[in-house]
Each structure stands twice: as structure tokens, then as C-alpha cells.
Structure 1
Amino acid sequence: MTTRTAQHAAALEGLDASAVPPYLDAHSALPGPRANLELVAAFAHVWGTRAPALVDALLADPDEYRRMCGTVAMAPRLLAAMSAGAQATVVAQLRERAADDSWRVREGVAMAWQLVGDADPALLRTTMAGWAADGPPLVRRAAIASLCEPRLLHDEQTLGVALAACAAATDFLAARPAGDRRAADLRTLRQALGYCWSVAIAADPARGLTAFDALTRSSDPDVAWVVRENRKKKRMPVA
């Protein structure tokens, strides 16, 4: 937990539920170039399982920052699920929100799964492998964005799933008819592939570049774009 996250967590600990939404509003850093993600994480940590009704209210709130906070707070709810059925319900809710109209909510899904990965990497791997292999574009995008987080990729199994997910998502993109490629959801998936590959490769350059090599020989224009974008990243090792 970062210093700022810990400070917000301490402040949130001292509030009752009715005072939490105004605190989120006051400290969201919005409007602005970057939402306060430390506060989002602190809210999930403190209130994720303490007040289910508060989380549910935020999930349904018209304000996208509040919905993002509620979405990330689904991580501790998932980890605390006492049955397979309860767990499956939360997973299904997160999958639905992976295709939300709000990009902040979609980012909240990735953040939620990264928190899950911190505590239960096997659950992250199993679920995201499924999303990457069988889902609409934004669900596949959520899978690679969730997996391609540096702190999670020290685990060799998670890295393997991340590379496989990036490959599956790239193959999915390349298989779309040319006339569909300008759809917003496919463009969003392409954009994620433009940075996720380099995150995974940086975690283990030898292993990652071996997986990436097949893309460099593709004649598909969108795959070529993905290759170029990743090669621009400072973290991308030289082949």
C-alpha cells in the first residue's frame, strides 16, 4: 500500500458510510488529467466487505468515479465469497462491467482483478485465460489489462498466462473482417495490445520476445501497428 493510499485508508476508516461518497467526490482529483487511483484502492481495502449496501449503491451511481470505486471494491467481495456460486456471481458481474460504456469503470475491472491476483493468483489466471480465449473485444481487453501488471508478472505462471492472453487477443483481432476493424471495441482492444505486450515482455525478455516474434512476421496492418507501438515503449527490450 502506497503512502497516499494508506493516508486515504486511514481517513476512510474514520467515516461512517453516509460520509464516504462525499469524501470520494472531494478527493477524486476530477475534473483533471488523472483520477485519484490511490483513493480507489483505499476505498476497496476499507469498505469492500464492510458495507455491501454502500458498494452496491456506488455500482449503480451515475457518477463514473463512484462506479469505478464500487467496481474495484468487488475484488474483496470476490475474495471473501464463501461458495462457488457466490464467487461465480461476482465474476459474472465483473465480466459485464468489463464492457461498460465508461472507460473508468473498465479500468476499475482491471484494477479489481489485479487486487484479486495479489491474493489469489490462480483465480486470476484461470478466469483471465478464459476471458482472453472466449469473449467480446472489451472482455478480452480486460483480460490482458488485468494480467499485464508488472507486480503480478514476477510469478512465472502468471507471466505465461499473460503472454498467452496477449497472443490470443492478437489472433482474435487479426481474424476480424477488415470492415469490422474500425468498431470502437476493437480499436480499444488494439490500443491495449499496443502496450500490454511490452509490459509482459519486460518481465522476462527472453521468454516474451520469443512469443512476440511471430507478430513481427505478420502482414496484417493492425498487428503491424501493435508491433510498432510496443517497440516505441522504453521498457521494451531490444531483440
Structure 2
Amino acid sequence: MTKRSDYRAVLESLPPEKWVGYLNAESGLPGPRGNIELAEAFADVADPALIRTCAESPDEYLATCGAVGFGRLLADGERHAAETLRVLAADSRWRVREGAAMALQRLGDENMPSLWTLAEDWVDGPPLVQRALAAGICEPRLLRAPDDAVRALDTLDRITASFRGMDHQSRRDEQFRVLRQGLGYCWSVAIAAAPAEGFGRLERWAASDDKDVRWIVRENLTKARLAKADPAAAQRVAAVLERAGK
């Protein structure tokens, strides 16, 4: 048994009117870490109507549970689920945005082609939507197939390319900062899944004259998974980055 399965059993034993109270009692908030296992269990078994109600809640934890639950609604082919999840991906609350990324991963667990179809709709969206997409697809368990790893790299290329022509004022916006931070680790996940293809792409970005892009490359080079994937290639990217920063 896992915590997730334990929570699922508890939820299924409760009458529907007591679910929200239980979620609030076991949320782990206020505190440094929300109860992710409970949110996942909720997404497994909650009625679609309750998922939608929670997603609309002003309460951060309930809205996070709802966002995670939308992954199941997407996998089940619920109409308009993608549109609602996109709104949640741009929510002002960071836990809700994380819930949206988890929802994408849940969709990918069930149907990777559907995740890539959604990615095409989101990849050119605003920064917070792009960040949710990057975090959603850059999950190691989703990138075991070579084709999926390359598609993740393609997506990250497009998101990173969107920095071109972005003015200084836009880059000072909090949404841009969140996207940049996310790309600071997402590239390393995708490259570790397809190092032969990925390091070449990162090397090209390392030569960029864009300081924010070079920052993203530098952050990814600090991730142990890159050195483990191909130490020589990681050193080569670092050398290009150093030359570009001079």
C-alpha cells in the first residue's frame, strides 16, 4: 500500500459531502508542502462535477486538487477540459499551476499522442502556459520512448525561441521569471532522455547572444543528470557557454 492508495480508500469510504472537509483537514497547509499524494488520490476517484467545483475554488489546495483532477478528465475525453486546464495553468497561485502540470503528466501516462496534440495548442501561449507545458512533458517516465524525448526537445526549442525579440520590460515580468526558472531544469530532463540529440541543441543555445537563454543553459549544466548522461558533451556545452559570455 502507498499513501496515495490509502488516501484513495479513505475518500471512497466517505460520503461525498465530507470530501471537501477531509481535503482541507489533510492538505498540509499552511506549511511548506501541500499533500500531493492526497491530491493524486482525489484525482483518481473524484466525481467530475466535484473536480470542476474544486478547480473553481478560491481555496488554493482545493483548486490544486481540481487542477490535478483535470488530467483524468482530459484522459477521459471530457469536453472543454483542455480549455479550463489552460486557465488553471496561468493561475496566480503556484500550487495550482503545479497541479496543472501534474494533470498534463497524468494525460501523458494514459495517452501520449493526446498530450502532444495539446502541446501544439499550448506551445505558443503566454509564459505561464508555456511553463506548465514544459514542466508537464519533462517528466522522465513520459520520455522513455525516443520519439517522445525528441518531441519534448522540439517543444523546448520552440518555447526557448520565443525569447527572441522579447523586450526588457516583458522580461521583468514575474511570469517570464517563472518560465525562465522552469526551463532552467526542463532541458536537462529532456536531454537525459535523448542525449545524442539533446546536447547538440543545448550547445546551439549556449552560443546565443541572449543572456536569459545562456542563463537557462548554465542552470541546466548544474544538474547532475546532464553530466551523467554524457560528461564530454556537457563539458563541450560549458565551453561554448563560456566563450559566448565573454
Give the one of 144, 151, 158 matched to 1:154.
144
> 1:155-170 to 2 correspondence within 5 Å?
155-170=145-160
Match for residue 65 of structure 1? Answer: 61
Structure 1, unmatched stretches of 5+, are none
Amino acid at match of 1:173: F
Deviation by residue 1:69-119 (Cα, 9 ceiling, x = unmatched) = 0111112222223xxxx53x1111111111111111111111011001000
Paired residue total: 229
Deviation by residue 1:135-158 (Cα, 9 ceiling, x = unmatched) = 111111111111001110102222
Give the one of 101, 104, 126 matched to 2:117.
126
TM superposition shift of 1:130: 2.9
CA RMSD of aligned residues (A): 1.4
Match for residue 7 of structure 1? Answer: 6
Match for residue 95 of structure 1? Answer: 86
Distance in 2 (CA, whole Å) between partners of 1:126 and 1:117 is 11
Question: Which entry has the higher C-alpha Rg, 1 or 2?
Answer: 2
Distance in 2 (CA, whole Å) between partners of 1:180 and 1:57 is 34
Runs of at least 4 residues off by over 6 Å: none
Distance in 2 (CA, whole Å) between partners of 1:93 and 1:233 is 33
TM superposition shift of 1:166: 1.0
Distance in 2 (CA, whole Å) between partners of 1:62 and 1:142 is 20
Correspondence 1:190 to 2:184: no
Match for residue 32 of structure 1? Answer: 31
Distance in 1 (CA, whole Å) between partners of 2:147 and 2:85 is 23
Distance in 2 (CA, whole Å) between partners of 1:157 and 1:78 is 22
SS at match of 2:169: helix
TM superposition shift of 1:27: 1.5
Amino acid at match of 1:144: A
Give the one of 189, 193, 196 matched to 1:199.
189
Structure 2, unmatched stretches of 5+, are 234-246
> 1:8-23 to 2 correspondence within 5 Å?
8-23=7-22
Give the one of 218, 221, 233 matched to 1:231.
221
Distance in 2 (CA, whole Å) between partners of 1:80 and 1:220 is 41
SS at match of 1:214: helix
Return the TM-score normalized by structure 2. Answer: 0.89
Return the TM-score normalized by structure 1. Answer: 0.91
On the 8 A contact 1:98/1:109 being kept in 2, the answer is yes
Give the one of 134, 140, 150 matched to 2:130.
140
Distance in 1 (CA, whole Å) between partners of 2:85 and 2:148 is 20
